[in-house]
């Protein structure tokens, strides 16, 4: 894959494979997390289960482990009565990943997901308020020992920019990775196109821009092409596709794209100019092992 040595993330990655990890939420549910419960609370209550999944991804070849803090902002935690535990939940999530990463020579990405709040004028959240929410989350993540900031599954550029601003304020020396979910006719839910996202996120200060989640490999290939074509010089591109879309089989939803198919997709992305790959919903350590083999062959 492409190497841009002046890029902060590329420098941090050094001689590691350009591979992120995969999905967490659905695997945690398979391992006992009740549907609708707070996954981030397991950082405090079931840390060994979070560590075990990190360990499986690291053993599969992931060079970056994602903290279990996707819903770690106060508004998301408030849905479970945990809004007063932002720092503790995030610090614990980072510390769990840090311990596993150190044993495998991997990196830790501090995960920031959407707050779930709408920005003005459609909602009441201001950019300044959003930045404050992300700063509170980042203080815990930094205390736990992250190597980089991972801003993911964003649909609103204003929210993504607020998260980037928070990272630049709290941990200015850490690389910033920012991805959006283009799941609505090749746009985000808020209408953002991949090319615009690449330019805006890079201008805001992201070292890596990209896409995650979405509707599966076929659409991700189109999105990746647009991201690669638009990204400014020196900025890397990351893609993390879902393992297809879940389909109901009997009483269970099953993702339809297996490890080898997702690995072939990753190889095609590499050939198209994508710098770093991983996976998202429906993926597992088996998918990441196949991706690692495909992009390092």
Annotated binding-site ranges: 213, 280-281
What's the maximum distance between 2 C-alpha atoms anywhere in the chain?
51
Cα within 13 Å of Cα(25), Cβ side: 15
What three-state secondary structure class fits 82? coil
Tokens of 138: 């980042």
DSSP assignment of 174-214 equals: S-EEEEE---BTTB-TT---HHHHHHHHHHHT-SEEEEEET
List, as residue ranges, the binding site for Zn(2+).
213, 280-281
CA distances from 24 to 66, 97, 111, 285 (A): 9, 13, 12, 10
What three-state secondary structure class fits 105? coil
How far is Cα 178 from Cα 200, in angstroms, rounded to an integer?
A: 11
Q: Are 153 and 181 in contact (CB under 8 A)?
A: yes
**Separation of CA 168 from chain center:** 18
Tokens of 181: 């979910």
155-172 burial: b if 16+ Cβ within 10 Å, else e: bbbbbbbbbbbbbbebbe
Helix (H) or strand (E) holding 279: strand 276-279
Taken in order 179, 185, 186, 187, the sign of the CA dihedral is: negative
Q: Are strands 247-249 and 236-241 parallel, antiparallel or unpaired?
A: unpaired
Tokens of 263: 């690995």
């Amino acid at each position: 894959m492409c190497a841009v040595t002046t890029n902060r993330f590329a420098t941090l990655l050094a001689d590691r494979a350009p591979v992120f990890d995969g999905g967490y939420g659905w695997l945690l549910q398979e391992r006992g997390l009740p549907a609708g419960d707070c996954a981030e609370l397991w950082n405090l209550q079931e840390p060994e289960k979070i560590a075990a999944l990190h360990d499986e991804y690291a053993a599969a070849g992931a060079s970056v482990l994602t903290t279990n803090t996707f819903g770690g902002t106060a508004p998301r935690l408030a849905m479970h009565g945990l809004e007063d535990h932002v720092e503790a939940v995030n610090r614990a999530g980072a510390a769990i990943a840090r311990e596993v990463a150190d044993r495998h020579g991997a990196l830790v990405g501090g995960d920031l997901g959407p707050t779930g709040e709408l920005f003005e004028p459609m909602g009441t959240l201001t950019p300044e308020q959003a930045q404050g929410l992300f700063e509170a989350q980042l203080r815990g993540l930094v205390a736990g020992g992250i190597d980089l900031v991972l801003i993911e599954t964003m649909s609103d550029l204003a929210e993504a920019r607020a998260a980037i601003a928070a990272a630049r304020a709290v941990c200015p020396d850490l690389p910033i990775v920012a991805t959006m979910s283009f799941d609505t006719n090749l746009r985000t839910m808020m209408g953002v196109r991949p090319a615009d996202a690449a330019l805006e996120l890079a201008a805001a200060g992201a070292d890596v821009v990209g896409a995650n989640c979405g509707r599966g490999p076929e659409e991700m290939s189109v999105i990746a092409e647009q991201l690669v074509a638009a990204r400014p010089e020196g900025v890397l591109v990351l893609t993390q596709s879902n393992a297809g879309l879940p389909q109901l089989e009997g009483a269970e939803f099953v993702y339809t794209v297996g490890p080898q198919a997702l690995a072939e997709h990753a190889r095609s992305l590499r050939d198209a100019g994508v710098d770093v790959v991983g996976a998202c919903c429906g993926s597992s350590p088996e998918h990441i092992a196949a991706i690692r083999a495909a992009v390092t062959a």
